[in-house]
Amino acid sequence: MKAVILAGGSGERFWPLSTKDTPKQFLKLFADKTLIRQTFERLSYRLSPEDVYVVTNQMYAHKTYEELPEVPKENILLELLKKNTAPACTWATLQFDDEETIFIVPADHFIPDVEKFWNAVELAEKFLQDKEGIITFGIVPTRPETGYGYIEVESEISDNVYSVKMFREKPNYETAVEYLNSGRFFWNSGMFMWKKKYFLKQMRKHSKDVLEPFFEYKSIEETYEKVPSISIDYALMEKADKIYTIKADFVWSDVGNWKSLEELGVENSPHSVLIDSKAFVQTTKPTIVIGLEDVIVVETENGILVAKSTELEKIRAALGKLDGAR
């Protein structure tokens, strides 16, 4: 089995800690290791570093080499343009033999229990030995989150393995509420497993415009110029013929924003004092919060964020205005 870490996302939801040059995967949000380093260590618990690949943007090449010195440089595929995850998954999969099993993982998720994680991965790998299909890893949903993909299960075909009726990427709020209440849906954790042969067969059938440029053009530069920008969830998962899901029996978070760090138990900065307040404080200077509920206060050398914890998605728009003002 080969593992592929998707590490080319940008994302500024952790401003003022993250910037364009340092997206989430390169932040040390927990303890003293970056999320990409934690992802690599989780994989190398059972895999040799030679079997770990990374697809990232060329602007993060240096940071990636620095974080993952054990991974051979030729395993780190550098994209010239940001074209989302479908081209990244395709380019990586094309590196391997037809019969190879490929495990795709995002670089920026939090999964603390490595044993339980590997139990699920090994179950998936075993399942694919004699069955065709794409494996997803399903998380039991707890809220009508609109930032995730949803997996509708058909039936449990063996312990923790379900056949899938449908995959729906990022539904609107009303649909997400419906899915949650039905009890038939999992969240998509963003990890996938497939064999190269089946992946190519499915891409040829459902997503030709993404696959073809990889065969049509000689250079990867030209391929990337021509390939459409689309995520693997829309390009393939919503259309794929045979999908299975393994119920993820481990703690998982995609660490979406500052609020999720608070939920994961990250503590306030030691020099903060809260009076009649409920606040998540990450600052380098002594900080006092008085009489405020559900507030996030973050200060780094890049700037200061003071926000209501339920409105953090507005950071992106605000940053656009900040750029304009500078």
* Cβ closest to ligand GDD, residue 109 vs residue 274: 109
Structure tokens at 158: 């063996």
Q: Residue 144 binds which entry of ligand GDD, Mg ion, none, with Cβ cut-offs from 5 to 8 Å by kind?
A: none
Q: Which is nearer to Mg ion, 6 or 161 (CB)?
A: 6
Please state, in angstroms and rounded to a whole number, the distance separating the CA atoms of residues 195 and 197: 6
Contacts of 174 (CB under 8 A, 6+ apart): none
Residue closer to ligand GDD, measured from CB, 84 or 202? 84
The least CB distance from residue 25 to ligand GDD, in Å, is 6
Alpha helices in 45-172 (DSSP H): 61-67, 85-93, 114-129
**Minimum separation from the CB atom of position 191 to Mg ion (A):** 11
Q: Are 151 and 245 in contact (CB under 8 A)?
A: yes
Asked if residues 153 and 165 have their Cβ atoms less than 8 Å apart, the reply is: yes
Query: Of 84 and 282, which has the nearer Cβ to ligand GDD?
Result: 84
Name the residue among 79, 99, 74 with its Cα closest to residue 89. 79
- Taking residue 32's Cβ as centre, other Cβ atoms within 10 Å add up to 6
**Distance from C-alpha of 307 to C-alpha of 102, rounded to nearest angstrom:** 40
6 binds, among ligand GDD, Mg ion, none (CB under 5 to 8 A by kind): ligand GDD
Q: How far is the CB of 232 from ligand GDD (least distance, A)?
A: 7
- Smallest distance from ligand GDD to CB 292, Å: 29
Name the site residues for ligand GDD (rule: CB under 6 A): 6-9, 25, 55-56, 79, 82-85, 88, 106-108, 148-149, 169, 187-190, 233, 254
The letter for the amino acid at 137 is F
Nearest approach, Cβ of residue 56 and ligand GDD (Å): 5
Size of site (CB under 5 A) for Mg ion: 1
Contact footprint for Mg ion (CB under 5 A)? 254
